[in-house]
Structure 1
Amino acid sequence: MLLLLPPSEGKTPAPDGSSPLDLAALSHPELTKQRRAILAELAAVSTRPDATAVLGVSDGLAAEVARNTGLALAPAAPAAQVYTGVLYAAAGLASLGPAAAARAQASVRIFSGLWGTVAPGDRIPAYRLSMGVTLPDVGPLARAWKPALASALDERSAGDVVVDCRSATYVAAWRPPRGADWVEVRVLREVDGKRSVVSHNAKHTRGVLAGRLLRATTEPTTGEDVLKSAQDLVGTVVLTEVSTGRDQTLVEASLLDARGRGPRTLELVLA
């Protein structure tokens, strides 16, 4: 299994005194040259007066943008601890047992505008950079990462199931090649018999599924295996909405056929 996750927008800095980033120690060392180039360009851009505008963030995040200027020496921690937010909390990626953590390190790849992709145990500093950004001397990041990510992941994904929990911004940087059983995860909500796509609750639900797949007794190797794990969750309360106090229960999981060269779709329906 290859389980693809987006990064979280919010990131928790490593504790002061932690060892700094070691680019050569990250998974997929073939990405090191590209990582180094983007890291340098990000540091330069982050010193500009218009840095927040270039990076597409609000002025309220100026302190996080300023932190980009010293990432090479900043404290680093496992990506599973740096990336926080709804999906990661639901998956429990930072609190997996030994067997599940080993599976995660081998099978989970977290996509990033700065690193390309990292594994949960890779030590990184907190940073601010989305894959949707265009850096002046690099260009659109998704396009810049495409060749390197193809080199790193095409062979790894061949003949395996690729469970894709990313947004379109990150899919643009790498699409599984032919020969991979590519399954995208889509979350719907059913109200009065009508179904619609959800966003915030979708992140949580994808996280629940990711945690289930990592803790499964047997690692999934096909889309049908992934469907079976999802169907095992049917009838369980996936989340409780903070605003309303209403439980959201998974009521259906189905695997839809691919259209053309695209992925098959695992639909998870909440009600």
Structure 2
Amino acid sequence: MLFVLSPAKRLDFAEAPTDVPTTRHRFEDDVRSLSVTARRQTQAELRRLMGISDDLAKLNQQRFKAFDPASDEGLQAVLAFAGDVYQGLDARSLSGADLNWAQDRLRILSGLYGLLRPLDRIQPYRLEMGTRLKTRRGAGLYDFWGDRISKQLNADAEGHADPTLINLASQEYFGAVDARALKLPVVTCHFRESAKNGGGETRIISFFAKKARGAMARFAVENRIERADGLKDFAVDGYAFDKAGSTNSDWIFIR
């Protein structure tokens, strides 16, 4: 069983524990090509492409100019991202054994790196998967990555007791997984909040849903869950599996 998460816009490059190993990202030629294209963008072009402020555009232009895809420097991906999902995961409090287990089962989709393992080193960057950055492969990053991510997921699931892919990513990022090339069954998890009036209505609140995605990944890591059905026992922060509202491919958790 594999899990996929989205990355985060916020980064935390505070020093990592010294006993946590690092690995090298696996799409070096693709990352090099993409980083060269990004480096050529002006500050104004980055601002327009990413829909960000002048200050953020300047920061990201500086990051791309300093980016070295062959560098051995950087921080483990699962420790470097610091958004809502990663608050729920809280990877810095996981044990070394937990992180090693996660290395074989947790994946992070990335606009720049394609598909990351938890311990893959990354450098500071921002490049959303939906960015329409033109490359020699097409009009945006979905075209750039094509079927590469799906093929890597297929390979990563080989030998697993249950080859199911658990989708804990956003629509924007999971859109980079080519459904035609993917050979794995997919289960997408949804986290909903009950209405305060007790009328049985539920809704998705983005912050809580993102945090719950990270918490589910942590639940799987700490409990060494090898098969998808084990996730139905997820009860962190008051969530419970809604059997009646779920289908084979879409699992609902409500609190």
TM range (shorter): 0.7 to 0.9
Is 2:211 the counterpart of 1:226?
Answer: no
Aligned residues between the structures: 236
86-95 or 3-12, larger mean C-alpha shift = 86-95
Give % identity.
22
Q: Does 1:58 align with 2:48?
A: no
Where does structure 1 lack aligned partners over 5 or more consecutive residues? 16-21, 239-248, 259-263
Tell me the residue number matched to 1:208. Answer: 215
Pair 1:220–1:108, CA change in 2 (3 A): same
Residue pair 1:14, 1:75 contacting (<8 A) in 2 also:
no
Counterpart CA distance in 2 for 1:98 and 1:126 is: 23
Distance 1:150 1:96 in 2: 28
Are the equivalent residues in 1 in contact too, given 2:34–2:135 (CA < 8 A)?
A: no
The alpha-carbon distance between structure 1 residues 157 and 175, as it changes in their structure 2 partners (threshold 3 A), is: farther
Gaps of 5+ in 2: 16-21
2:44 to 49, 70, 76: 49
Equivalences for 1:225-264 in 2 at 5 Å? 225-228=230-233, 230=234, 233=235, 238=237, 249-254=238-243, 256-258=246-248, 264=249
Give the deviation of 1:71 after TM superposition: 1.3
Normalised by the size of structure 2, how large is the TM-score? 0.83
- For residue 44 of structure 2, give the secondary structure of its aligned residue in structure 1: coil
Rounded to whole Å, the distance in 1 between the matches of 2:37 and 2:14 is 22
Equivalents in 1 of 2:88, 2:52: separation in Å? 26
User: 2:149 and 2:88 mapped to 1: Cα distance?
Assistant: 27
Does residue 129 (structure 1) correspond to residue 127 (structure 2)? The answer is yes
SS at match of 2:67: helix
Decide which of 85, 88, 97 is 1:87's aligned counterpart: 85
**Matches of 1:178 and 1:112, distance apart in 2:** 17
Higher strand share: 1
Aligned to 1:161: 164
What displacement does 1:134 show? Answer: 1.2
Measure how far apart 1:95 and its partner are. 2.5
AA at the equivalent of 1:204: K
Counterpart contact for 2:2–2:105, Cα < 8 Å: yes
- For the 8 Å contact 2:131–2:141, the answer to whether it is kept is yes
TM (norm. structure 1) is 0.78
